[in-house]
Chains A and B, each alone.
Chain A
Amino acid sequence: MNAPVKIETTLKDWETDQEVRWCPGCGDYAILKAVQRTLPELGCDPANTVFISGIGCSSRFPYYIESYGFHTIHGRAPAVATGVKLANPDLDVWLVTGDGDGLSIGGNHLMHVLRRNVNMQILLFNNEIYGLTKGQASPTSRIGTRSPSTPTGSVDSPTRVAAFALGVGARFVARGFDVSKKLPEVLKAAHAHQGAAIIEIYQNCIVYNKDVFDGFAAPKGAEDSQLWLEDGEPMLFANGAKGVALDLETLALKIVDVVDGDWQAAGVIRHNVKNRSIAHMLVELPFGPFPKALGVIYDDPAPTFETLVAEERERASEGKEPNLSALLAKGQTWTVDAE
């Protein structure tokens, strides 16, 4: 249903006249550029594109994209976007949210938009902190995060975005990070997916949670710390010297050394985006012992909510005349005659 007609645009066409108001050096700038670069490549029509956001730094996003935009209220963007898609399934909807907006105040709505499978791209900027409210711990903050609201370190266990999404029934789950050159490819995959497609985008908050993703996002050592997944390709990293294999005894993933490029001999498995079990394992891999699994982790389309709702409405209407006079006079009636 997305953008039936491809339109020719340039990056400039997707820029608004509004001054961008993120902190200098914020990861949001890189994501904005990646999106503005990708939209022309997808042939998207600005008039048919709607960016919908909640509240937070990330949610300023719609003001900077020259399309239709709706900056809603804290946590509720998925619900607003669901209404938009049900009212007009032809609109190409992008949802922009953050870890606080999407997983704390709006966790319930994120769960339901994913399980209902409303056709839209969901960009969840995860910076593991509340930025706009000046640096409080968020539901994705690591244990021990020191912040104004947790001066001696947070004690609550963080939630994991991709695992949450898979758990509630999402049909497309991917990961990327702000300055990654591969982010546009992930955005394109999400757009190609018919249904709710969520991308967890690790985003560097340089003011309140600086460089927390350096472990895998820093250019140095990236080959060892990033496991980019490609459908049908072996799960290799460290320039092909290492791979991910399934330990048949523990039924868990393990890292194996690949000698002379013979990944098959090492037991490295091929990524299959339709394999939900492996997807669950990939999103649960602890970073450190394992590299960070990035790219399209899971992509297995199912009928979209708005299509099912429209079909159901058609079925229910079949053979029924929308006759208002008849409807008003339904049931047992009686006539009072003029005297």
Chain B
Amino acid sequence: MATQKAAPRSDLSQQDAITVRFAGDSGDGMQLTGGQFTLSTALAGNDLATFPDFPAEIRAPQGTLFGVSAFQINFGAREVDTAGDTPDVLVAMNPAALKTNLPALKPGGLVIIDTGEFTKRNLDKAKYDVSPLEDDTLAKYDTLQLDISDMTLEAVKPFGLGKKEALRCKNMWTLGLALWMFDRPREPLQNWLREKFAKKPDIADANIAALDAGHAYGETAELAGPLQQVHLDPVPTAPGLYRTVTGAEAISLGLVAGARLLRLPMFFGGYPITPASAILHHLAKLKEFNVTTFQAEDEIAAICAAIGASYAGSLGVTSSSGPGIALKGEAMGLGIMTELPLVIINSQRGGPSTGLPTKTEQSDLYQAVYGRNGDAPMPVIAARSPGDAFECAIEACRIAVQYMTPVMLLTDGYIANASEPWQVPDPDSFERFPAEFLTEPRGEQLLPYKRNERGARPWIKPGTPGMMHRIGGIEKAADTGHIDYSPDNHQLMTDLRQNKILGVDIPDQDVCLGESSGTLAVVGWGSSYGPIHQGVKRAIAKGLSVSHIHVRHIWPLPGNLGDLLRGFDHVLVPEMNTGQFKTVLRDQYLVDAQPLTKTSGQPFAIAEIEDAIGKYFDGIPDNEGGQVAVNEQQLPSPVGGDE
């Protein structure tokens, strides 16, 4: 049944972290397989990070190269920050999946192939002239060629399913094998299947039979071949209750928690867009938390309704991705002008225009910080990981209400979809920041634009007796809020709005890895946290003077960031765009920040960060002492002035 070729073996049992990629047709259920494997990994106590990579098409034609859907997971007996650079194991459910994913596989890695799908027709669709099973395509790798299709059909025979339905159980067979390979219990999955197909017990039974068969195959076929069972010990972690969480879930939960800490009902206005819709879907199921979700007619209506809700005394929230955020721009200006709280979430994706809807990028930073007409300052926060997104959402709620301002929370397609283990927080451990409404004038006259010590104007709910007033997008007179176009007043109001945002109370920037001064600071933001962290960790292990600084508060920037950066000889800014944060840092601090950019729709690999770091230390034997060679190509550092 299985043919196993002798090849250079990579011994997985010697590794403390393993990367597995499941790849198949978009109809093969790879995302579901990956998701369930993730859960079993989490339950086994390994640390993990995942990377779902799926096509933009809902149902791409079967067997085609562009219809391949993949799910990568990196898990280990140690801390894991990325989904892994190169998979150790590739599961390829058809020729197209093999073709598109094989180049990523580590040399000597293991590829598990469903030979049942390697038909002439499928090979043609994958544009293979010769079957890769018959030439030297796979020579560099260990291979395990199994007719998974046939074995699945055999396993589910007793349940009398049609062939098409029976073959749908293939992913469970594969998952069963994977569970055996990594020494995982099947029970949680069996329970999940029973629950999922509670109304179709025969489907549940068939899937469980396929799962068991895949597992049994591993058990009985443990040969002297590439198939080996590997056990990774649980990662020592802080004691507590854990679950897995995706970024979209964490943001939804963070918003609910934030509204709760504010003691406000939440109003969420959204419009369907990939990859932001998941937040709308999550919140739509949480109505008992005094959450109202509104699927608007368009992106503009979604934000305008949220502004209307904030005006009426709720916490208004809206969410989208780049193209939708662009449409919301004018309304953000209205929120800034009328000084109403609003949380705007941007799940970034590849751009411009429609761009790459299902791929990740960090290219909306300019849009977030600068992308509005007029001088329209707005706080911007960036989440670094799914778990971090929870705290960022709470932080966004706090700033929005305390400073009466729209706040943008940046996340991206990677964070939205990826999952990681998450220590369940205790909601009571967060500091409360209840919203306050003005219910009577502070002096003799009602002054809707009279600011408090934070520079924020009062929040006055319509319906409050005796507090009637008018607001709008036209320039306001300081204090009274009446229309005022006069030159001095616009100067004053522009300054007041600017200073309010620059004065937002945010924590000082910390150094998350390495010393607080030295040769090279690698400064990141958002979802590139994982690869930067691991890259810096490896560089430090080599003895290099490198530190990792990861910025959550993109605008305003932390008060100590300039001084911190000046403590390093060099600043490298890796980001998934053409160098946007690098420009902001240069502008704000006149530091010679150098970009490391990537816009392939894929996250950074650790090796890419490591290589880039290495270039700063080239030509130095052993790099001892962290001395760095002069790089002639770099711009001269500023002298004096800003020091």
Using CB atoms and an 8 Å cutoff, list the residues of chain A in contact with chain B: 16, 18, 46-48, 50, 52, 55, 62-63, 66-73, 76, 78-88, 90-91, 108-109, 111-112, 309, 312-313, 316-317, 320-322, 324-325, 327-339
Contact = CB atoms under 8 A, between A and B. Distances in A.
A76 B462 CA distance: 19
Nearest to B234: A336
Contacts of A80: 304-305, 307-308, 311
B449 to A, nearest CB: 14
B345 interface: no
Contact of A333 (B297, B310, B424, B425): B424
Given A84-B462, A87-B313, 12 more contacts: A66-B468, A79-B296, A80-B304, A83-B294, A83-B304, A84-B312, A87-B267, A309-B292, A316-B288, A327-B256, A334-B243, A336-B45
Contacts of A112: 296-297, 301
Contacts of B621: none
A232 B158 CA distance: 71
A269 B428 CA distance: 68
Given A86-B305, A337-B239, A47 B465 contact: yes
A203 B43 CA distance: 69
A86 B267 contact: yes
A324 B260 contact: yes
Contact of A336 (B237, B253, B291): B237
Nearest to B266: A87
A62 B470 contact: yes
Interface stretch (B120-128, B471-479, B609-617): B471-479
Given A47-B463, A112-B297, A83 B309 contact: yes
Given A72-B473, A83-B308, A325 B468 contact: no
A47 B311 contact: no
Nearest to B460: A68
Contact of B301 (A71, A76, A312): A76
| In the A-B complex, the 3 residue pairs with the closest CB atoms | A83-B308, A71-B472, A83-B305
Contacts of B312: 83-84, 87-88, 91
Contact of B467 (A47, A81, A331): A47
Contacts of A329: 241, 243, 424
29 contacts: A18-B470, A50-B462, A66-B468, A70-B311, A71-B473, A72-B304, A73-B304, A73-B331, A79-B297, A80-B311, A82-B308, A83-B294, A83-B305, A85-B308, A87-B310, A87-B311, A87-B313, A87-B314, A109-B304, A313-B287, A316-B287, A324-B257, A325-B428, A327-B256, A328-B424, A332-B188, A336-B237, A336-B240, A339-B236
B470 A320 contact: no
Judged by DSSP, the binding face of B is mixed
Given A76-B331, A82-B294, A108-B297, A317 B311 contact: no
A322 B304 CA distance: 28
Nearest to B191: A332
B292 A86 contact: yes
A79 B316 CA distance: 13
Given A76-B301, A87-B313, A338-B239, A71 B463 contact: no
Contacts of B326: none
B243 A331 contact: yes
B508 to A, nearest CB: 28
A198 to B, nearest CB: 17
A16 B482 CA distance: 11
Nearest to A78: B301
A332 B286 CA distance: 18
Nearest to A67: B468
Given A322-B288, A335-B242, A47 B256 contact: no
Contacts of A82: 294, 296, 301, 305, 308
Contact of B466 (A47, A108, A327): A47
A320 B290 CA distance: 12
A87 B288 contact: no
B464 interface: yes
A112 B298 CA distance: 10
Instruction: From B256, B309, B338, name the one whose CB has the most chain A CB atoms within 10 angstroms.
Output: B309
B80 interface: no
Contacts of A16: 470
Contacts of B287: 312-313, 316-317
Given A50-B462, A328-B424, A79 B308 contact: yes
Contact of B307 (A66, A83, A328): A83
B463 A83 contact: no
B299 to A, nearest CB: 10
B297 A325 contact: no
Given A47-B468, A71-B473, A327-B289, A63 B240 contact: no
Contact of B316 (A55, A83, A85, A111): A83
A334 B308 contact: no
A324 B306 contact: no
B454 interface: no
Contacts of B39: 332
B507 interface: no
A226 B19 CA distance: 79
Instruction: From B39, B234, B289, B297, name the one whose CB has the most chain A CB atoms within 10 angstroms.
Output: B297
Contact of B308 (A55, A66, A81): A81
